[in-house]
Structure 1
Amino acid sequence: MLNIKSIPAFRDNYIWLIQNRDQHCVVVDPGDAGVVIDYLTSNHLTLDAILITHHHPDHTGGISELVRHFPHIHVVGPANEAIGGITHAVSGGDQIEIFDHIFHILDLKGHTLGHIGYLGESEVFCGDTLFSAGCGRLFEGTAEEMWQSLQKLRSLPEDTKVYCAHEYTSSNIAFALAVEPENPALQAYRDTVNRLRAHHQPTLPTTIGLEKQINPFLRPDQAEIIKSVSDRSTDLDPLSVFTILREWKNEF
């Protein structure tokens, strides 16, 4: 069984650490090597590999220092992005093995053009594609590409745990309530998140099932959401509604 922990970094990043029973581990998107090294030292862990979802510095900035400390580790990352230090380039459809567990590589373009995710048996590390109650900005890809990536994630089993890379939940909920204020699941989730954050607890991981209930970017076919964007466009198919929501969130 894999044990997954979060290592906070910067203002709101999470570096995810996957540990087996033999004190070996893998880290996902280590933007800051220092916090990782401190955690490994304190917990007597050996780093075997790094997994990267996309090229942004807050996800890759710690690679070189970690490789200096652990020179024999594997660094897995997207084949379609230029990231220094990658030893194993992967694309959608590939798979890797982590401590006898198979992880499938998902193409999740939208936030960046080469963004990937890592899907295990009951967990997905999705970088900056899907957040709890939100989704990533479109820095390189199109709205259609991001929508297709979110559809891949939405189609996963509802009990799949979603390990996002940022603690954006509170601000995302504020937007989601502006879009769908009468959603009772979203109202209840707001209260849960407020309690967690009041005690400085993470809101992640979330699950696909929960996100399908509360995340407006996965719910563009819902009547209240369609009504909320109807004054912005006459095109109200799911992709068009998603596109409007993403543009609205940029301004929120």
Structure 2
Amino acid sequence: MWALAPIYFKALNNVSALDVLAHRVIWSFLLTFAILFALRKHRAILSALSQRRTALGLLASTTIIALNWGVFIWAIQENRILSASLGYYINPIISVFLGMMFLGERLNLVRKIAIALCLFAVVLEIVRFGSVPYIALFLATSFGLYGLIRKRLGVDSFVGMAVETGLLCPLAIGYILLSPNDSARLINNEWQTNMLLFLAGPVSMLPLLCFSAAANRISLGALGFFQYIGPTGMFILAVLVYGETFSAEKVTTFSIIWIALLLLVSHSVRQFLKQQHRKPSD
């Protein structure tokens, strides 16, 4: 779903990134709350907020995911899909590092080499090409921190999403009312644009709910493994569909990151095969 997200946000190029973000928050909240109400889990929101540690944790994750959403939308609309793609290629490696630092997950030689290659790629782009991949670094780090916080909290994915979007909803409504852009308010738009803005709810909610549910069930390292699909789809869209330039510095940076990810993938496959081989036959 994340791999195809740029198609949706490109279709909203006539609406500013902040306006899209505001609608994304509002419709995500309404949809999530409706699902919670249907499942009779709406009281769990009050339960989560009544615990100080959980409430503060969700406030932190709310802030992080709002910034992540905003930068991602802006990057897509400004033809920086390659930078966003690079960020989500780096993100699994950031997740591995955060898992080691804060959750006590073991860091074997392959993961150490992958992290070292990631750092080398970033430093090389800064030193050799004189550019800081700030969009990629921000998206990777912010989403890695979001996954870490949600994993440590262990809050139900629906409840966490409802709280996060609920905390942002008053700000989003206030922004829409005060926005200088006519496109922020539904009454000024064509029905096609409004339909796309309504879809911001499911487009935003479904991938995040899947991510949050997975973060509560598997290690951050394993979670990172499945995230390679998203940036690959974004990369293909950027180069083959939207015609972004795959410059020399991007070729170098992406190549090093791909080598790091290839090491992680091959190691994970070998570990999986070993585990399958050790299982007794039926």
More strand by share: 1
Given the two structures, how large is their TM-score scaled by the length of structure 2? Answer: 0.22
**Relative contact order: is structure 1 or structure 2 higher (C-alpha 8 Å, sep ≥ 6)?**
2
Larger Rg: 2
